[in-house]
Structure formats: structure tokens, C-alpha cells
Amino acid sequence: MSKAKHAGKQQAAKVSKLRSPQEEAGLPERLEKNISKRKRLYMLLCLLTALIFSLLLFDVNVSEGTDDSTYIEAGYRYATDFFSFHYTFSAPLYCMFLALPIAIFGVNLVILKLFSVLFFVLGIYFLYVALKGRIPYITLFPALLLTALNSLYLYHASQTFTEAFVLPLSGLFLLALFKLDDATQSGVELKKSWKNFLLLGFMTFIFYLSRNVAAIAIAVVFAYFMLYKKYLTAVYSACSFALFWGLYQKVMVPAFWGHLNIKGGLSGQAGAIFLKNVYNPGEGKEDFWGMASRFFENAKTYSSQFFELIGVKSETSPHSYLFFILMLALVGVSLGYAIAKKQKYIVALILYVAAFLSVTFISLDVMWKQGRLVMVYIPMLVAIASYGIIMLLKAKFPKPLGWLYPAAIIFLVLVNLNHATDNVREHLPKLRKNIAGNKYYGFTPDWVNYFRMSEWAAKNLDKDKAVTCRKASMSFVYTGRSFSGISSVPTLLADSALALSSYKQRFLGMKYGDVPMNIIGALHPYLVAIAVGDNTSYYYTYDLPEPLYAEVEHADIPIYTSPEELMAVIKKCRTSYAVFPDSLLEALKSRNVGYIIDASLRTNPAQKTGSTISTITRYMSFIQQKYPDAFRQIHQIGADDNEPAMIYEISY
């Protein structure tokens, strides 16, 4: 055999032993190619999963959180008199949208909730459209499927909170951002790309109108383009947003609602950001260290909840900073690889999540701890974390370990699928009862008594007088009658209250328990303020005529003879506030409130512990310190030992 023939055989043998490109590629690469070929099928799977489980878990009742019923009532007011109402407590767009189906179908919970299901499914689709071909499919589809199976998302898919409504808007916002990025790859040519600028400005503005925290979206846009040295694009994008914001704030609001004297552009929620306690303004505002503590406490809470929501963390295990550190590590790894690999769309998602979560951690009161506030970032966070894990496996571990990533995704999908199916089994009996006409089935006795009392009030009480209660919008949804709400007891800083109070005769301060029983009745008319320290110590301040002052002074009891003396005691407390009984009563009178409902709503919805939401009770008790006969009970629903609801007539 010649040397040429022998060499040819050796070469042929070598070639025959070489693997094909498909065999040579690692498992992640093969999965990426497989999913890319069948992306429409996988997209359909995600959409059908979201739709089927949303319908199986459909809830025809409003939640106990009140926000959803508040949006419905606001939508009703827009529907009945659009130009005489403007919702300012939070971003108003969702309420404006609800006005459309309400104008057509009335306040029909099933119809309104079906729109939420539609938004949830559309949200998954729009995220797919925004990110397909831009990030790896092996990161995109796990993010979408875990969103479609997420139990909290499935719960909100049939609630009238804003979360389902915001999901498609976030997808459209990202799509508009990327479309403009594509249109300005070779520089800004306004003649060719002005439509893209306007589209992004409009979507950013619409996003802002749908959710308070989305005001940070324009900063995300600006930072993204500046990072990639597209300076003109960044400036023009900000100008486009400013155009729509200006048209709304300076033209539409004055033209449509100017007669309502709407103050500024800040909503009620935004104005409460810096309060230590949104339910008790009298505790004052946070300082720098208070805000920093809030940030890290919220970071711990919501990072832990994120891992809980995707099935990594058990619901029973405590929140921990370890989850915040893990989240930072995953995002950091993804950011490093995204910059190195020039994967700018992953960078965009990281900017989006980092900005929105930072604002969330800073702005939210630590007491809220609502998973829905981090739930909206699940698809983005899963995509970001998946990308980092895949790149880390590729770079640091041999190819045989490529199976770790798909195995982890399959595990998470199965965990979420199991949780969702368990919820379906538990929920279906309730759904059948509700559809059969038992609208209160599933509520605990405290809520049933509250709703029945609301119905009784709507049917039996004078229509010319308002009825006030703790959950006014929920009462509206189930009765059709507007109620006046009390969400908190209005308070002031203790020192401000003492300084503002007008003591025209003689100031007297006394601690609760020290007031002489033989003269307490004579002191009632002269009560000015009640100062509270650490929620346990109550101090009463009076403006007394000289004879009565002398009588108390000679009673040999501890008294404070000046506001400054009492303030020195109160300042030793960690927290303090003050209440004016006359102001509380006047607030009711100014709203023409004739009746007040006090219910036994549980602080722990899952258990009857005897601890109830005390807002109404406290409100009434502060008034009764000065006016003992201000309230007369006229009706009760529920036995005394079965979480009753009572209604009182107010005597002015």
C-alpha cells in the first residue's frame, strides 16, 4: 500500500471519529436549538397553561385587601360621572379602564375579573414578543412558564388588583424600548425614527399612569441608552415622555378635572412614602437611617418572598438576608456575563429590575410585606438568574454537567405545577358554591357578618346620611351603595398637638388612670387632646375653668401644669402621637355621616384569635372620651361570641 493511500485511510478514520456539530455542542446549546425550532409550540403551551389554571382558580369574590374593590368603586365613579371624579390615591389608569366595562355591564365582578384573566395571558404573550430572539430561549421560556404556573399570579389573574393589568404593559414598554434601540443602531434620524420615539414616550407614560413605582421607568430608559453611548436617543426619549406627561398634567387634568382643585401631581400613596407609619401620621417622618433600615428590611422580605414564590424557599422558613445576597449574586453574575458577551437585552432587564426593586424597597412601609409587590418581577428575575447560571455552567464546569440547569428548571416547574393543582383541588368546591349563588361562601364569619350588616344598612338606613366603616369599597361592591371609609385614625405629632392646642383657661394634663372618678364626668366637656406614648400610655389634656382646676389640683393626684411639662414626659417614649376628639367628630359631621359600622374583622384572617382590626373601635373610643353618649347601637348581626358586626347612630 502506498504512503498516500495509507495517509488517506488514516484521515478518513479520524474524520469518521469526529462528532457532528450537534453532538459536539453541550446540552444547553442543543436545547436552545430545539426550543428555537418549536418556539411557537412552547409559546402556546405557556399561554394555555396560564389560561386553564386561571379559569380553574377563578375567584368570584373580592379580596380582603380592599385595593381591588377600591379600584372598582373608582371605576364606577368614572363610569357614572367621568369629569366629576379624579382618582389620586394611586396611579389612575386602571380605574379609568374599569370604567369601560362598568359603563356597559355595571359592577359585574365576573366580567371585571375575566378582563384580569385576559390581561394575565396577554402579559405573558407580550413579554414573549418583546424578548424573543433577544435573549436565549432557554432563559425566556422557563421565565414565562414559571409565571404561568405561579400560584400568586394565578390568584391575581382573577382579582381586580393592578398586577395583571400591569403585566402586558411591562411587556409593551420593553418592546417599545427595544424597537427604538433597533431603529437608532446607526444613529438618530428623526425623520425615520420619530414614530419609535413617540411610541416609547407614550408607553413609558402609560406605564407611569398604571403604577406609581413605574415613574422610575423613564430613568431606566435614560440609563440604558446612556450606557451604550446613545446620548441623543436618551435625551429624545426623555423629551418624548415629558411631552405626554405635560399634555396630561398641564392640559388634560386642568381641562377635565381642574374644577376639582387637584393638588399637584403626587398621589396619596406617593405623599406617604416618608411617613414612619402610613396608618399613624402622628409618628412623624423617617430620617435617613430610618429610610436605610426600611430599604434593607424590605430587601430581606421581598428577596425571600421571590424565592418562595418560584418554589426555592419553603413558605414556613423565615425571611433571611441570605436570599437578598443570593439575589444580588445571581444578578451580579448575569450582569458580568451580559456585559462581556455584549448581551445588552439582559443588561436592559437588569436595569429594569434593579431600578424598580430599589424604589419598591425604599418606598414601602415594612409592615406591608405583600408578595404581589415583588411578584410582578418574576419573569424578568427568572430570565436574568437563568442566564447567569447557564453562562456560569458553560464557563466553569465540564459539559456533562450541562444537565444541571434543565434539571433545576424541571424541578421548579413540577413544584409550581404541584402547588397550582393543589390549589385547584382546594378551590373548586368554593367556586361551585359561588357560581350556584352562595356569594359569601368561603368568607370567614367575621366577613359574612360585616357584609350582611352592609346590606342591612344599604336597605334600611336613611339615604340622605352617609354610613362609615372600615372597608367602604368592599361594602359598595356587595351592596351598590356608597359608604364613607375610615382607614386610619387621623393623628398629629404629640408636640405639634400640644403647641397648636388653644388652652384659653388653665392647661391640665393627666395620665389615664389618674383621673378622679368622682369628677371625671365634669372633666369631659373640657377635654382638648389625647396624647399617646408607645401605644400604651395615654395622657389627657384639658382646658379647665379656674374652679374646676382648683378642685383637681387639691385632689392630691399627679398632674401636669403646662404643655412643656407633659411634653418632657412624652419625649421619653420611643413613639408618640396625639388625637383631638373634636376633630374626629367634626370629620364625620363634615361628611354627613349618620351611622358607623364596627365589625370584628380578624387581624389574622386564618384564625379566630380574638384580635381584630381596631381602627373603628379606636376612632369611636377617642370621641367617647369627650362625648360618652355620641354613639347609640341600633343593630347587630352575629352573636357576641361569633365575631359580630354592630352599627351605631351618631348623635352630634
Is the pLDDT at 1 greater than 50? The verdict is: no
pLDDT at 269: 56
Helix (H) or strand (E) holding 539: strand 537-544
pLDDT at 22: 42
pLDDT digits (tens, 9 = 90+) for 255-302: 999 888 765 444 455 556 777 766 666 677 777 887 888 899 989 999
The verdict on 498 and 596 lying in the same domain is: no
Tell me the pLDDT of the chain averaged across its residues: 89
pLDDT at 87: 87
Query: Where residue 88 falls among pLDDT bands split at 50, 70, 90?
Result: confident
Any idea what DSSP says for residue 652? -
Query: Where residue 139 falls among pLDDT bands split at 50, 70, 90?
Result: very high
Query: Does residue 278 form part of some domain?
Result: yes
Q: Which residues contact 83 (CB under 8 A, 6 or more apart)?
A: 256, 257
Interatomic CA distance for residues 636 and 639, integer angstroms: 8
pTM: 0.87
What is the average per-residue pLDDT within 18-25?
45
The verdict on 101 and 196 lying in the same domain is: yes
pLDDT digits (tens, 9 = 90+) for 513-530: 887 777 888 899 999 999
Interatomic CA distance for residues 646 and 640, integer angstroms: 10
The verdict on 399 and 480 lying in the same domain is: no
Cα 616-618-623 angle, rounded to 5 deg? 100
Query: Where residue 330 falls among pLDDT bands split at 50, 70, 90?
Result: very high
Alpha carbon of residue 148 to chain centroid: 20
pLDDT at 287: 78
3-state class (DSSP) for residue 387: helix
Is the pLDDT at 16 greater than 80? The verdict is: no
The verdict on 158 and 250 lying in the same domain is: yes
pLDDT at 15: 39
Query: Where residue 126 falls among pLDDT bands split at 50, 70, 90?
Result: very high
Count of structural domains within the chain? 3
Residue with cell 424597537: 179
pLDDT at 13: 43
Q: How far is CA 288 from CA 21, 61, 192, 285, in A?
A: 58, 41, 47, 10
Query: Where residue 339 falls among pLDDT bands split at 50, 70, 90?
Result: very high
Cα 210-183-124 angle, rounded to 5 deg? 40
Q: Among residues 579, 600, 634, which one ends one of the domains?
A: 579
Query: Does residue 19 form part of some domain?
Result: no
Q: Among residues 375, 400, 415, which one ends one of the domains?
A: 415
Closest CA to 476 of 154, 160, 91: 160
pLDDT digits (tens, 9 = 90+) for 101-123: 999 999 999 999 999 999 999 99
The verdict on 69 and 86 lying in the same domain is: yes
Q: Among residues 549, 579, 609, which one ends one of the domains?
A: 579
Query: Does residue 6 form part of some domain?
Result: no
What is the average per-residue pLDDT within 533-541?
91
What is the average per-residue pLDDT within 496-517?
83
Interatomic CA distance for residues 158 and 150, integer angstroms: 13
The verdict on 475 and 620 lying in the same domain is: yes
Please give the span between the terminal C-alpha atoms of the chain, in angstroms, as a whole number: 119
The verdict on 77 and 220 lying in the same domain is: yes
Query: Where residue 19 falls among pLDDT bands split at 50, 70, 90?
Result: very low
Interatomic CA distance for residues 577 and 560, integer angstroms: 18
Q: How far is CA 529 from CA 508, 510, 565, 577, in A?
A: 11, 11, 15, 10
Q: Do strands 593-599 and 645-650 pair parallel, antiparallel, or not at all (unpaired)? A: antiparallel
* Amino acid letter for position 635: H
Query: Where residue 395 falls among pLDDT bands split at 50, 70, 90?
Result: confident
Query: Does residue 560 form part of some domain?
Result: yes
Would you say 531 and 497 are in contact if contact means Cβ atoms under 8 Å apart?
yes
Query: Does residue 197 form part of some domain?
Result: yes
Query: Does residue 428 form part of some domain?
Result: no
Alpha carbon of residue 612 to chain centroid: 23
Tell me which residue range forms the domain holding 574: 494-579
3-state class (DSSP) for residue 650: strand
What is the average per-residue pLDDT within 199-227?
94
Any idea what DSSP says for residue 275? B
pLDDT at 323: 93
CB atoms within 10 A of CB 37: 10
Q: Do strands 506-511 and 466-469 pair parallel, antiparallel, or not at all (unpaired)? A: unpaired
**Least confident range of 135-144, 145-154, 560-569:** 560-569
What is the average per-residue pLDDT within 449-474?
95
Would you say 364 and 269 are in contact if contact means Cβ atoms under 8 Å apart?
no
The verdict on 192 and 242 lying in the same domain is: yes
How much of the chain, in percent, has pLDDT values that exceed 90?
Answer: 66
- 593, β-bridge pairs: 466
The verdict on 368 and 456 lying in the same domain is: no
Is the pLDDT at 12 greater than 50? The verdict is: no
Any idea what DSSP says for residue 550? H
The verdict on 499 and 485 lying in the same domain is: no
How much of the chain, in percent, has pLDDT values that exceed 70?
Answer: 92
Is the pLDDT at 621 greater than 70? The verdict is: yes
Alpha carbon of residue 299 to chain centroid: 15
pLDDT at 363: 83
Query: Does residue 427 form part of some domain?
Result: no
Q: For 16-32, b where at least 16 C-beta lie within 10 A, e where not — what string? A: eeeeeeeeebbbbbebb
pLDDT digits (tens, 9 = 90+) for 570-590: 988 888 999 999 999 999 999
Is the pLDDT at 390 greater than 70? The verdict is: yes
Is the pLDDT at 418 greater than 70? The verdict is: yes
Query: Does residue 16 form part of some domain?
Result: no
Residue with cell 402586558: 168
The verdict on 153 and 268 lying in the same domain is: yes
The verdict on 132 and 168 lying in the same domain is: yes
Residue with cell 356569594: 439
